[in-house]
Structure 1
Amino acid sequence: MKLAGKTDVGSVRPENQDDYRAGELNSDAAWGLVCDGMGGARGGREASVSACDVIEHIFHEQYAQCLPGDEERFLKRALINANRFVFQKASREEELAGMGTTAVCALVRGGSAFICHAGDSRAYLVRGGKLTQLTHDHSYVQELVDCGTITAEEAEHHPQKNIITRALGVDYRLDPEFTSLPVQKGDILLLCTDGLTNVLPKEKIEEIFTKGGFYDIPDRLVDAANAGGGPDNITALLLGVEPLEVKHG
């Protein structure tokens, strides 16, 4: 597996409330996580970092118990535990009230990718230079698209695009969404926040993936989003399906 990632404050926001983590589990397995915090000056950063800390700890301490077939249970439990931690922290500290964070988490092993998410941070499969979205946004605008009220094209510039319908920390209960798919050597998983996808169209992201080396891609994605105005924090994390090579960007 290969790993490379970058997060950036962008060109407008005063603080980076995104966070990400990734790690090798063995020569044929790796995991990655991207979070996008929300909720005031302190809250957003606190929510994303806290969620990442909890989920990273679960991978370090409990992954050995994740047997084949247990992936959905393991990933959902990781996000649910992080949700409860962030929610309880927000309940205890008045200045953190209402904070929350999106999360998209991927585990790649045994020729499969397992993805669990809440919110509008996304996972994509890049195969043969083509980008396929793997996650379904948990947002008000996506619900309008799903029921046919607006088109996907109209959703791209909808004024309420930032309203999230599912996130970690905003409610004691959480129902994260899970999906899985087979992967093959040469595939790349892209986990990213909406600071990237709201600025760069699919075609531009595909173009960046066809030029330059694997470890340069996160920097080039961030640079392109900033060149497009960088209105939000930007995070891009790559998991490349190639054995025996790991590097953190």
Structure 2
Amino acid sequence: MIEGLAGLGRFALFGAGVAWRIVTPWWEVGETSRHVWQLVARCFLPVVAVVFPFGMVMALQGLGIFAVFGAQRMLSSLVSVAVFRELSPVLACTLVAAQGGSAFAAELGAMRIQEELDATEIMAIDSLRAHVVPRVVAALLASPVLVLVGSISGIAGGFVTAVYVQGEPEGVYWANLWALTSPVDVAGGLVKAFVFGGIIGLVACYQGYFATGGAAGVGRAVNNAVVIAVTVFVVVNYFLTTALFGAIGVG
């Protein structure tokens, strides 16, 4: 109990320190750009490969239900709302945690075990600013990009199923795409991505930064980074959905 509270307090101080360094100037722009590019490149294909078939399944199941009520033309609206609001943010950020979060934890954990972070501090270089802030900012910036990619993939997957599998008219699918979808849905999904990216970056870097126990400790840090980050942002997703969409419903 006491150890858990101590860890929570340490994480709060860590997060506050990172946040302060983000809003103050002179953080590593070049290093941040490198991590953003690596994260997007590493996650791009997995995001497309995962969200695209989810869009196909959504269209396949939704068309059968809508056909009962003679509302097949609204299928694309269902797909777009579900993809923008929920599917793409959650699925894409899960992959960001699995790919990017694990890499961040492993890199910082190895640096901690090999005493590179200690050496950085001895040379009067702020290790949080030099090594943690670029990774957290990269997760913040890359996640919305990947969620947008996932959203496009999911809608395309729904199109393939609706038009080429179920035989729905192509024009009907695109004409009704925005019937129940508003810019709030798109913006809300990107807000979720930004928040989830921050959670992933902070949790992953925290686990790696404070890793102990040699190679086994780095392995535990990587595992904890992914599990904790995904668990936390899935829980946070409920509250964000309530805050962003709870009052407006659909349309």
TM-score by length of 2: 0.27
Larger helix share, 1 or 2: 2
| The structure with more strand, counted as a fraction of residues | 1
TM-score, normalized by length of structure 1?
0.27
If you compute each CA radius of gyration, which structure gives the higher value, 1 or 2? 2
